Amino acid sequence: MWAMSAAGYRRLGAAGAVAVAAGGWAAGTLPARDPWGIWVPHGPGVTVAGTVLAYAGLTVLLAAWWGHGRAGASVRETLTTLGWWTAPLLLAPPLYSADVYSYIAQGAMVLEGHDVYGAGPSVLDPAGLGGDAAASVGGNWTDTPAPYGPVFLVLAQAVTWVTGGTIVPAVLGMRLIAVAALVLTVRALRRLGRSSEGGESGALWLGALNPLLLMHVVGGMHNDGLMIALMLTGVVLARDGRWIAGSAVIGLAMMVKSPAAVALLFVGVIVGRAARGPLPGRVAKGLLAPGAIAGAVAVAATLAAGTGFGWLRTQSVAGTIHTALSVTSDLGLALGELLHLLLGTDPDPVKAAVQRLGLAAALAVIGHLAWRAARGRLDPVRALGPALLVLVALSPMVQPWYLLWGATVVAATAHDGRAGRVVLVLSAALAYETAPSGATPPYGFALAAVAGVVGWALVRREAAAGQGWAPRAAHAP
């Protein structure tokens, strides 16, 4: 039947994406000021209608995504579908987050000579370059220094310079970077997916066609998309024997966002296993060489950007902002408040201690995965996916799109396994957690819970029927 074909699901998902984009024009993360008068609110009634339309479109998109994976689509068909589902989002206002306004404001700060690692966007002149973007930054980030590396800040600076900081063209310039990141990600997924059981089509389905990625990388323009693209590209190079170039590219990814550094450990495993000579020499080469190359790239990028090394001290600023998805922050806050009631102690040190314990546990698990990979019990690239997922799960700050750090690696290497099942269900659930306006309303968590239960039930039903849950492998064109 047409409706059950890849083409049918492509059209269904495109309709969902159009609804998401249309809803975003009314209920997206609209700027505080738009001199062009394009992205402006139209009253509470229209905002509510836009929110409902966007959530309905997201539901349709998720259903089409699931169906497309069952339809046995080829690589060519999947890429065509990706184009159809991405196109409606290209001209939409920012969706699901106000972070893009921070990026533009930080680019303006660099242009005007402000210390982007010592102050927040509030230092900008409201009537000057980047003023409209600074006024649109989420409240938590107005006075927060940038936690991003100089490579990304240079890109934000370039966009702000070219567009003069005018909101609409500046946002579209940042979206162009996000789309370029998506293209790089697709290329890396195809390369990595060729060696997995489900092939390229399965990797693209879970990794690139994933609505969570489309909503937050294309719609929300999070720089996590660029970090992921560079990290995966570096991993591909290292796996193919070009580990020096791969380590350098991962160094660039680190200078977008620091979690990409985890990939260096597993690149080191690849290098150590391929090296010849005595065991101590191979271990030393694997542990030191990729890090030294990435470190040299980081230093060179910082000096070339001229933004200074302040990024070294701002990596923890995000952890000061509480997010409900962080298990360690929630546990630490609850324990701290309990001790405060019982003993009158300050709850903040307790919360910080639990957060540090969570990170220590994550590092221990990551080290264990690397050790197993070094002993030949795990493929190093395959081990990287769970390592990043564990880092996200135990981080002091967790946002829905952080799942994509490890999800894309899992998609490329193990989308048809247990980790793929987890990524599938979590992607569907977390897509609902954030409203188009960037808020995290209580009903978002309720919808996420329902989506998670439905997703897991579908996975278990297909497994019980002996059909398998993963996309059927399809030949590349």
Diameter of the chain by CA atoms? 71
Q: What secondary structure letter does DSSP report for 113?
A: T
* pLDDT, tens digit, 9 for 90 and up, residues 247-300: 999 999 999 999 999 999 999 999 988 877 777 777 778 889 999 999 999 999
Taking CA atoms, 203 is separated from 198, 368, 413, 428, in Å, by: 7, 25, 7, 16
* Residue where the block lists tokens 């195809």: 190
How many CA within 13 A on the CB side of residue 263? 33
**How many helices, marked H, and strands, marked E, lie in the chain?**
19, 0
Over residues 199-222, the mean pLDDT reads 95
Contact 112, 129 (CB under 8 A): yes
pLDDT tens digits along 412-441: 998 888 888 899 999 999 999 999 999 999
* Distance separating alpha carbons of residues 115 and 307, to the nearest angstrom: 7
Measure the CA–CA gap between 374 and 32, rounded to whole angstroms.
Answer: 51
* Entry pTM: 0.94
Question: Region 346-368: what's the mean pLDDT?
Answer: 93
Q: Residue 120: what are its φ and ψ, rounded to 5°?
A: -105, 180
Instruction: Report the alpha-carbon distance of residue 361 to residue 355 in Å, rounded.
Output: 10
Q: Which residue would you say has higher pLDDT here, 322 or 348? A: 348
Measure Cα distances from 371 to 14, 176, 234, 274, 376 in Å.
44, 39, 21, 15, 9
**pLDDT (tens digit per residue) in 448-467:** 999 999 999 988 887 776 65
8-state DSSP, 122: G
Q: CA 268, CA 290: separation in Å to the nearest integer?
A: 6
CA pair distance 84, 61, nearest whole angstrom: 12
